[in-house]
Chain A
Amino acid sequence: MSRSKHAVELCALLVDETYGELTSRIFTILLRRGRLPITLLAQHTRLSPRQLRHGLVVLLQQNLLFYHTDIDSGLTHYEANHDAAYALIRSGKILNIVEERFGEQSRDVVQNLLLLGHTKVADLTAAYEAQKPTSNGHSNGHSATNGVSYTNGDHANGIHDSQVHSTGQLHAILHQLLEAGLIEPVNQIMFTSPTDLYNKVEKELLPAGGTKGIKQKEELRLAIEGRMQALRDQRPDWRAKGNNKRPHNGDGPNGTIKRRRLSNGAVNGNSQYLDESIRLDSELVLRINYEKCNVALRSQSLVSLANQRIGETTSYVYAEVLRLIEPYIPRCRIESEKDSNLFEKANVSTAELSAVMSSSVNVALGIGKASKDKIDTKMLEQASGRKRKANEAEVDSDGDASSDESESDEEMVGAGDDEEDPFAEGQKRKSGQAKVTFQDKPEDRQSRMLQLRNHLMLLAADDRNLLSKCGGGGQGQWTVDFNTLVKHLREIELDNLILENFGRQGHRLARILRKFGKLDEKQLPQHALMKQKDVRTKMVEMQMAGFVDIQEVPRDNNRATSRTIFLWFFDMDRVTAIVLDNIYKAMSRCLQRLEVEKRQANDIITAAERSDVRGKEEEVLSANQMNQLREIRGKEEKLLAQVARLDDLIGIFRDF
C-alpha cells in the first residue's frame, strides 16, 4: 500500500534522523519506488554495491525492511516497512511506559533492544557481561516521580541503579517483558511483507479448479486472512525451555494476577521481586513488539481521558482495569474472527481488580460519600438500558449546547468537553476529597472493594462509555468497548481541531452535520441559528480545507440550479484521512526545522559532542557556549515535544 507524499517524507526523515544518511537514501528510494531488487536499487540510489549492502543490512537489522526471495529466480526484493519506520518516533514513549511499569532496568534492556534491532538472547547476555566492568549508566540521576502512575501513593524512591547486574536478572526481565508482550520472539514471517504473505498463502489455499463466484472468493479471502493471522501468531515458543521453576499452569487470570503482582513490585526498580532462576532459550531472537506497545499507548490516552472527565483516583482505577485487560489484546485493530473471540475474554471482575490494585492508591478518594446512594446499580442499569437513546440524546444536547453558545459566548472558552456529566462528579469530588483526605483509618477489604466498585460504576456511567458491565460474577464483570471509545476519542480531537481552525461557528456546523448526516443547505441556517450568508461563508471555508463537502441532487434532468438540492455532509473517514496527512506534514516540517536549527548551531553541537567534552559540558565549555548549548537544546525539546504531541494524534486517528 502506498502512502501519501507526506507520510513518505516523514518516514524518510525519521530514518535519516535515527540511522543516518546512507540508510535513509536507500529507504527513501524504496518508499518511493516500492519493492526493488538490489540491482535496481543501485541504479536508483547511485550507491556502490558495497555501500548498498551495508545499508540494507542495517535496515534489516532494525526491522525496517521486508524482503522476499523468489524461489525460482533467486532474486531478492526489498520493501520498506512503513509502520516500523514510523514507530521510530515512538521509541521515547515506549521507553517511558516500560520504565513506569517495570522499572529502570527493564527500560535499559528495552533501550538496548531498540539500539541493536533484533537480537539473540545469548548476544544480549554477552553484551551485558562485556559492559559490566565499564558500566556507565546513561540516566542515573532520575528522580522517580512517576508522572502518570501512582502519585498519591507512598514512594520510597531513591536513585536506582539502572544497570542490570546479573545474567539471571536479565533473563528475568526479558521474561517479564515477553510475558507482557512488549517484546516478541522473531521469526521469518516477520520479514515477509503482508502482500507477499497473502500471495504465498493464497497459492497454498487456492483450490485446484480456481474459485467461482463471489461467495467462493469471499470464503477464500477469509480463509487466507485466517491463515495469515495464524502464521503471524505462530511465534517461537519461549516459555517451555529452561529450568523454569515458576508454575506456569496459569494461562488464565490467576496466573496473570500473580505475575502482575510481581511486576507491580518491580515498578520501583527493586530487583528482589524478580525470580532470577528463569533461563530463556539463548538462541531466541527478540525484538520490540510495536503492536503491543500501541495497546499500552492507547491505554495511556484512555486513562488521561478518564482523568479529564472524572477524576484522578478514578483514572488510576481505570488504568489498572486496562492493564488487566491488556494481556488479552494482542493489537489495537481487531480484524479477524479469532481475535474478536480473544477479545470477548477480555474482562475483569471487581474482585480481581481489588486483589491487584496497588495499596498505594487510596480508592476512598475521588468520590464523595453523598454519591453512594445516587450512583447505584439501578441507575447504572437504566443508563446502560438507555445506552442507545443516550447516544443520540448526547448529540442532541450537543446541538442544544451549541445553540446556547451564541447567546453566552464567554462560556465557550473551554469547549473541548462539550457537555456536563449527568452525575456532575466534578463538584462532588471536590467536596468529597476535602472530607476524606484526613481519614487514615485502615480500610478493610470489603469497603475497599465497595469503593472500587463505585469508581467502576462512575466509569461505566460516563457518557463516553469508558467501561461497560458484562456480567455479575466476582462483584461484577467489566469490559471495555475499545472501538466506540476510540471513536469518541477521535471525535473529541476532531472537535478540538475544528474549533481551533474554524471557530465556534464552524465547530457548531460540523457537529450539526455529524448528527444529521447530509443536510440541505436551506436547513443548515435554521439548525445552526445563523444567517444564511454566514453559514455559506463558513461552509465554503471548511470545504476548502476539505472538512465538509457538498453533494448535488438534481430534481430533474435539466439540472438547473433552482431545481437542484445541495446537500452538505461531513464524512468522518475522509476528514480523518485529511487530518492525518496534515499531521504527517506538520511532523516532517518540525523535524526539518529541527535539522535547520541544529545546523545553525553546528559549531556548538560538535563542540559538545567531542569525546573530551561529552558528559562534562558544564566544566569544559565557557559560559557563552553553555548558553548556546542550552538554547539549542531548549529548541530541540520544544520541537520534539510538538512532534510527540502530533504523534499522539496519529495514534488516535490511525493506530488505536
Chain B
Amino acid sequence: MSDLPPGDDNRGGGKDRLSSGYEDGCSPDAKLPRWMHAIKAQSINNKNNAIVNDVHQAFVEGYPARHGGQKVKDWMADAEWRPFLYPANFTAQNLAGMTFQRATPLEQLHPASGVESPRLDLPKPATRHFHKHKKQPGAKFQDHRSSSADMSRGGRGGARGGGVKGQTWDFDAEFKGDFTPSEKFPAYKVPIPAPVTEKERKEIKHYKDLQDQIHQGPLYTQPSKRDPNAPAKTYSEDQFNERYGVKSKADVDPFTGVPTYTQKYEQKKRVIPELSGRPFNKDFFPKELWDTLEGEEGDDVRAHINRIAKKKALMLSGQRTDLNPSEKAKALLEKIQNVAEEGDEDAEPGEEEAEEEDYDYEEDEDEMGGDYDGEQYFDGGENDEDDGDGGNGGDDY
C-alpha cells in the first residue's frame, strides 16, 4: 500500500507516517477520526483521485477543504457525478464533521514536526506534491533529528511543534500562553580539566619547539588573510578563497602601516615556500613538479640567464677586445652570478609587482621633475640607517 500523502512538507509526511505506523511505534490509529481510515483505505496518492487528495490535504493543513478554487460544497456537488472518487463509506456527513474541533490537531499526533500558520492559498496540484515528497530523505529519522536539535539548545525552541509552548490549534477563548522567555544562559557548571602533568608539559614543549622550528624554516607560509577576525565559517569555495589573497593598499592597517625601525627584526612574511637551498629527492616527486624543485621555474629562468649571458658576452667581446680572456671570463661569470641572484630575489610575484609599481611611480615623478620629493624623504632616510649601524639599534629597545 503506497499511502504517501500529497502534502509537500514534512507535516504531511509525519501525518502519514503516524497513520501507517511503519516506522514509529506509537501508531495513533485510535486518535484518528474514523473517516480518515476510509480515506486511507483508498489510495490517496493516486493522482487521478484529486478530490480525496485535496480533502486529505485540507485536513492535514487545517483549512476548509477546497478543490480547484471551489468551495467544498460545490465540488461535492460536482463529485456527485463521479462517485468512484469517493471511498466506500465516505459520505457528506463525514465531510461535514470534518471541522477543526473534531480533527485531531497535528501537534498532538506529531509534536515535533514544524507547523506553520494555516495556508489559505490553493492547494497545489497533487502530482507535484507527490514527486516532492518522494525526494524527501529518510522520514524515519526526521522525528529524532528535530527533537534532538531542540534539546541540544537547552530547551530553546523546543516547543516548535506546538507553535507556542505546546498549544494546539484548537480555539480556546481562555487561552493564556506562557510567553516568558526561557533562560538564555542557564547556569552551567564549567568543567575544569586536571592540571597539566609533567609528562604532558614535556610533550607540549617538544611539540611547540618543533612547531617553532618549522615556522622559522623556509617551508612555512605565513597567513595572508585579509581580515583575520572574519568568522571562520564560510559557505562556499568562493567565499573561502576570497578571504585570502594579496593584500591591496586598501587593506593596510594605518596603525602598523608606517614602517618602523624595529620592523626589521620581525619575522619576514613569506607567502610562498622557499624551496631553493635545500635538497629534494626527486624520485619521490611527480615529474610535473621537478621544475619547481629545481628552483624558480628552472627552465625559464635558465633560458633567461643564458640569453642575457650571451648578450653580455657578445657585448663584451664586441666592445672590449683589449681585455685578456681570463678577465673576460671573470666578468662574464660575475654577470651570470648577478643575474642568477636577481632571479632568486624575485621569488615572490607579489613583491615583484610591487617593485615594478614603485619603480614606475618614481620614474613618473622624475619625469615630471617635482623638486620636492616627498616620497623620497623617508625612503632615503631609511636606507641611510640601514646601511649604517643596523646592528646596534636593537639595544635601545
CB within 8 Å of B: which residues of A?
Answer: 16-23, 25, 28-29, 38, 44-46, 48, 50-51, 53-58, 60-62, 67, 69, 76, 89, 91-93, 95-96, 99, 107, 111, 114-116, 118, 120, 123, 138-139, 145, 147-148, 186, 188, 191, 285, 500, 541, 543-545, 552, 554, 558-561, 564, 566, 592, 599, 606, 609-613, 620, 636-638, 640-642, 644-645
Contact = CB atoms under 8 A, between A and B. Distances in A.
Given A186-B284, A566-B25, 20 more contacts: A20-B273, A21-B222, A50-B292, A51-B271, A76-B288, A91-B207, A92-B210, A95-B203, A95-B210, A96-B206, A111-B209, A115-B213, A118-B281, A138-B209, A285-B281, A285-B284, A560-B29, A606-B266, A610-B262, A641-B196
B284 A188 contact: yes
B146 to A, nearest CB: 11
**Sorted from nearest, which 10 A-B pairs have the closest CB atoms?**
A92-B207, A20-B221, A147-B199, A95-B206, A612-B394, A610-B265, A92-B203, A22-B221, A544-B148, A53-B292
Contacts of B25: 552, 554, 559, 561, 564, 566
B221 A642 contact: no
A53 B289 contact: yes
Interface centre among A22, A69, A285 (most CB of B within 10 A): A22
Given A592-B232, A610-B262, A638-B196, A50 B204 contact: no
A107 B224 CA distance: 33
B201 A637 contact: yes
Nearest to A613: B265
B198 A50 contact: no
A18 B211 contact: yes
Nearest to B22: A559
Interface residues of B, number: 76
27 contacts: A18-B214, A20-B215, A20-B219, A21-B223, A23-B221, A25-B244, A46-B241, A46-B245, A54-B273, A60-B284, A69-B286, A92-B203, A95-B203, A96-B206, A99-B206, A115-B210, A138-B213, A139-B209, A147-B199, A285-B281, A552-B23, A609-B267, A610-B262, A612-B265, A638-B193, A644-B203, A644-B207
A500 B192 CA distance: 13
Contacts of B244: 21, 25
Interface string B223-252: 111001100100001001100110000000
Contacts of A592: 232
Interface in B276-313: 278-281, 283-289, 291-293, 297
A620 B245 CA distance: 35
Contacts of A118: 281, 284
Given A561-B25, A644-B203, A644-B204, A67 B286 contact: yes
Nearest to B149: A544
Contacts of B292: 50, 53-54, 56-57
Contacts of A637: 196, 201, 204
B207 to A, nearest CB: 3
B289 A60 contact: yes
Nearest to A186: B284
A646 to B, nearest CB: 10
Nearest to B228: A599
B217 interface: yes
A609 B198 CA distance: 26
A118 B282 CA distance: 11
Contact of B397 (A145, A599, A620): A620
B10 interface: no
Contacts of A18: 211, 214
Nearest to A53: B292
A148 B3 CA distance: 66
Contacts of A123: 279
A115 to B, nearest CB: 5
A21 B206 contact: no
A21 B270 CA distance: 10
B140 to A, nearest CB: 11
Contact of B265 (A53, A93, A120, A611): A611
Contact of A54 (B29, B144, B275): B275
